[in-house]
A and B are shown apart, each in its own frame.
Chain A
Amino acid sequence: MNGKKDGLKTLFRFKSLQTTILTVLVTLVSFTVLIYLIISVRQNRETVLETSTEYTQQLVDMVNVDIDSYFSNMNNMAQLIMDNSNIENFLLADRDNHLVEKPYVGRIEEQFRVLRETRDDIYNIGIIGKSGNYLVNNTTMKINPYADYSKTEWYQKAMEGEEVITPSHVQNLIADEYKWVVTLSQSIQNKDTGEIEGVLFIDLNYRSISTLCENISLGSKGYVFILDKDGKIIYHPRQQLLYSGVQKEETGTILRSGEGSFITRDRERLYTISRSHTTGWTVVGVAYLNEMMEKSNQTKKLYVLCAIVLIFVATFISIFLSNMITKPIRELRSSMKRVEEGNLEIFLQKPDYSNEIADLICSFNIMIRRIKQLMEKIIDEQAEKRRSELRALQAQINPHFLYNTLDSIIWMAESSKMAEVICMTSSLSKLLRKSISKQEEFVKVSDEIDYVREYLKIQKMRYHDKLDYEIDVDESVMRTPIAKLILQPLVENAIYHGIKLKEGKGLIRITGKKEKGKTVLKVIDNGVGMTKEVLAKLFVERETEDTGKVGVLNVQRRIQIYYGLEYGIHYESIPMQGTTVYIEIPFTDDFAPERRQHHETIL
């Protein structure tokens, strides 16, 4: 139960909005169409059944009316015969009194002959007196000597005064003739005494009754049959099958039910009943429901076909509609996804319609614009922050260096080496002025070289027996702009980590030239050099970095911030032989410091 519920839930948990809309639409349309279909088909079925029932009832009633009028005709004829006074004479006459010669016999014969000739559905007309006088058709008619009329129903009941219409039976009165007839019989009363003197009978061709039924068409299988008041079969197209017990007729149900119609329990046949008061007969029409319903079935087929076409059309329209409805949403979603991936350069076309989704798109555009503005602001602020940090950095001159230099000056002054004091002091003063005075971030390579030269002068004076330097920079690169204070920290490193630790005198060479479109500066020392391990750790950020000291990493970052990742510094070193630092910056002949600015925003 639970699992089934879950299954149903997941069945309707569609991944996309379009599918959901489509499913809901199609389900609704299908449901509506199917309900409509069921109601229409049922309604149609009922209507057809009703019409067919009415039609059958009319047919059956018509048969009954025909039979009634037929028999009232016959009754009139019987009345006519009985009004003939000759009949009475005949019946009252003695049996052996040479009847044939009596003139009234001839008159009776003549009447019978006329009637039989005008109505070919009359087989026999006869009178039988209780004395045994009889006349059938005419006196020459040969009578079957073995036939015993006195035992027949039509004779006995008529003698009791009843008007009889027999069920269909074989009339054996006439020799060599065995004809199926319906016999009409009535008593003949003595007009004076009222006593029953004999019986008048008319044998009607059974065909005249059966054709009335056979002519009625109730589909190819349907039929009409007639029962008398006791439920005996008068006419039935399948009489043989009924008598041999092969088939059964619903006689019981028919006799029990009144006028009208009923459908058999297996819903196969429709019985329509009509009773006659004249004959007491029951005319029953049997129609097969599947035949009656054939038209209804055709209509049903048409309905179902229409429903299918409708559902298909609805499905396609739904696909179209759901696609249309969800299209802006899908676009919005894919735009969102791109924003998610970091692309803020998106602007959605404002749709030409106005609804919630249009509002959503407008809001989306506004939101993206705001995000973009905020991002730019953050980037600007970050860059500004970094610049101020760098400025602070540039402004610094290592206090140790300052202290050592001043110490050296004091010491030289004490030794009265005035020329050296003047030289060192002037270099220091130049150095300080260069680092303080200029607020620009970029200087020419020549300026930077000048700065380094002053620095080296001071250091050479301090380590006069240990340090030597050469500066060999091409004139072509001298105008290249370079971030301030790039070279000096590297030279400082070369002195303190390379030359200072070396036995004997060390040399620092600074070269500069254009290589492959770049300006390449080199700081070459012949100091102690570095092992590969030390070299590898050079650019690793250290947790406890001395903020006062300008590290290699710091220089590297600054170059890359200003110029991009394809520029920077790298080291080559051989232990005990020396180290070379390569500084690569873009080559420009034209110094315009403000143009460097845009590189920052990239980061």
Chain B
Amino acid sequence: MKLYFNNRKMISSIAVLLIFMVVLIFAMNKGKEKELHVIYIPKTQIGGNDFWSSIRAGAEAAAKENNVQLEIFSPSDETHVEEQNQLIKEAVAMNPDAIVVSPASNTENNDALCMIKEARIPLVYIDSTTDEKIADAIVATDNVAAGKKMAEIMLGLLNQDSKIAIVSHVKDSSTAMEREKGFRKGLLEYESQITDVVYSNSIDEIGYRVTKELLEREPDINYLACLNEDSAVGAAKAVKELGLVNQIFIVGFDNSSDEIKRLEEGVFQAIVVQRAFTMGYFGIENAAKLAKGESVAEYLDSGSVLITKENMYQDENQELLFPFY
């Protein structure tokens, strides 16, 4: 059959119709997102430690909401930086859509972390940072602000005779340095009354020992700021043992059932609690966004709350203190 298409308009209108339909089909198929693969490498095994399980809960919530398949590679211990570096390398080898890390060391993770960037994989830090600027985004507690909060509750009570000591955790970790910095800043003119800084190395036994030694050596110390959970638990044990409850004003950091018990008992006058769930949530959400090519805030403060015995059972605080995961 011979067809008579002597009209260009006819041909072009059929072509337009065709193109329109093809575009329609494509437009319909769009909008189906593919599942993203994100690997999170925390500092330590997630288990009993409430802080890390809250982070994981937040991370999992974000993963569910952002269509992310989340994998967690945990090193056995916070001090095993090499093991964490090894896990980072394994993660890079799997070529995921994004990697989220809580660097254990301020300096020792840099080389491994650089490999992530060399593989062009988006990198997000949760909780801690390193001294080199490697990550695309950071989600962490503003530790300076958290340190300040510890000082602020002391401020009204301090006088010229007050003697202040700090029980810190790991000397060169970013969190320890920043919290100390914030605490010192928050003390204003009383900063000079800080007599000692001791380190627990994130082990409560050591925290207990160094605090006990400190208090025996300097019995007139009456204000203690503990910069992480293990330091706080250790220090509280020492104070309790020395019978100095109510004589020493202690502010703890992070929460565990041990700390909460001490807060209820009145050993701690206050504790500063990080919003770990929020941290984990935004860490994964930002990683997902980066993997999709969206832009995110370079630094996000997940926030911290000062909790005292009086407000610990308020709705919004009991949720933070007693996660039900």
A interface list, Cβ under 8 A from B: 11, 14-16, 18-19, 22-23, 26, 30, 144, 146-147, 167, 169-170, 172, 176, 178, 180, 206-207, 220-221, 232-233, 237-241, 243-244, 246, 297, 300-301, 304-305, 308, 311, 315, 319-320, 323, 326, 330
Contact = CB atoms under 8 A, between A and B. Distances in A.
B265 interface: yes
B10 interface: yes
B25 A240 contact: no
Interface in B11-36: 13-14, 17, 21, 24-25, 28-29
Interface of B: 1, 3-7, 9-10, 13-14, 17, 21, 24-25, 28-29, 54, 57-58, 61, 64-65, 257, 260-261, 264-266, 275, 277-278, 281-282, 302-303, 309, 313, 315-316, 318-324
B278 A30 contact: no
Contacts of B7: 14-16, 19
A311 B6 contact: no
B10 A241 contact: no
A565 to B, nearest CB: 41
Contacts of B282: 246
Contacts, number: 105
Contacts of B257: 176, 178
Contact of B10 (A23, A167, A240): A23
6 contacts: A176-B257, A178-B260, A221-B64, A221-B65, A240-B320, A241-B281
Contact of A14 (B10, B277, B316): B10
A22 B316 contact: no
B277 A241 contact: yes
A456 to B, nearest CB: 71
Nearest to A144: B264
Nearest to B257: A178
B322 A180 contact: yes
B192 to A, nearest CB: 36
A26 to B, nearest CB: 8
Contact of B303 (A206, A241, A244): A244
A59 B203 CA distance: 49
A325 to B, nearest CB: 12
Indicate the member of A244, A300, A305 with the most B CB atoms within 10 Å: A244
Contacts of A16: 4, 6-7
Which A-B residue pairs are the 8 nearest by beta carbons? Answer: A240-B277, A243-B316, A146-B264, A19-B7, A244-B278, A170-B318, A19-B10, A170-B322
Given A146-B266, A221-B65, A241-B61, A315 B14 contact: yes
Nearest to A238: B61
A15 B6 contact: yes
B35 to A, nearest CB: 11
Nearest to B266: A146
A18 B17 CA distance: 18
B18 to A, nearest CB: 9
Given A11-B9, A172-B264, A176-B261, A304 B24 contact: yes
B59 to A, nearest CB: 12
A16 B11 CA distance: 13
A301 B30 CA distance: 12
A235 to B, nearest CB: 10
**Chain B binding surface, main DSSP class:** helix
A297 B28 CA distance: 8
B319 A246 contact: no
A424 B315 CA distance: 159
Contacts of B266: 146
Given A180-B322, A239-B319, A323-B4, A244 B13 contact: no
B307 to A, nearest CB: 13
Nearest to A22: B10
Nearest to A330: B4
Given A19-B10, A167-B315, 19 more contacts: A14-B7, A14-B9, A15-B6, A19-B7, A30-B17, A144-B264, A146-B266, A170-B313, A176-B257, A180-B324, A220-B64, A237-B61, A240-B323, A246-B278, A301-B28, A304-B25, A311-B21, A320-B1, A330-B4
B61 A172 contact: no
Contact of A23 (B13, B29, B309): B13
A33 B25 CA distance: 16
A204 to B, nearest CB: 14
Contacts of B323: 240
Contact of B277 (A144, A206, A220, A244): A244
A244 B303 CA distance: 8
A304 B315 contact: no
Contacts of A241: 58, 61, 277-278, 281
The interface centre, meaning the residue of B275, B303, B323 with most chain A CB atoms within 10 A of its CB, is B275
B14 to A, nearest CB: 7
B287 to A, nearest CB: 16
B297 to A, nearest CB: 13
Nearest to A223: B64
Query: Which one of B1, B303, B315 has the greatest number of beta carbons of chain A within 10 Å?
Result: B315
A240 B264 contact: no
A169 to B, nearest CB: 6
Contacts of B61: 237-238, 240-241
A301 B277 CA distance: 40
Nearest to B7: A19
Contacts of B25: 304-305, 308
B12 to A, nearest CB: 10
Given A244-B277, A304-B28, A308-B25, A319 B320 contact: no
B281 A246 contact: yes
Contacts of B4: 16, 18, 323, 326, 330
Contacts of A206: 324
A584 B323 CA distance: 129
Contacts of A18: 4
Contacts of B24: 304, 308
Nearest to A14: B7
A232 B315 contact: yes
A274 to B, nearest CB: 23
A320 B281 CA distance: 62
B261 to A, nearest CB: 7
A310 to B, nearest CB: 11
Nearest to A206: B324
B67 to A, nearest CB: 8
Given A144-B264, A330-B4, A300 B275 contact: no
B3 A323 contact: yes
Contact of B322 (A146, A178, A220, A221): A178
B320 A243 contact: yes
A145 to B, nearest CB: 8
A19 B313 CA distance: 81
A238 B266 CA distance: 31
Contact of B1 (A22, A246, A323): A323
Given A15-B6, A246-B278, A146 B324 contact: no
A241 B320 CA distance: 10
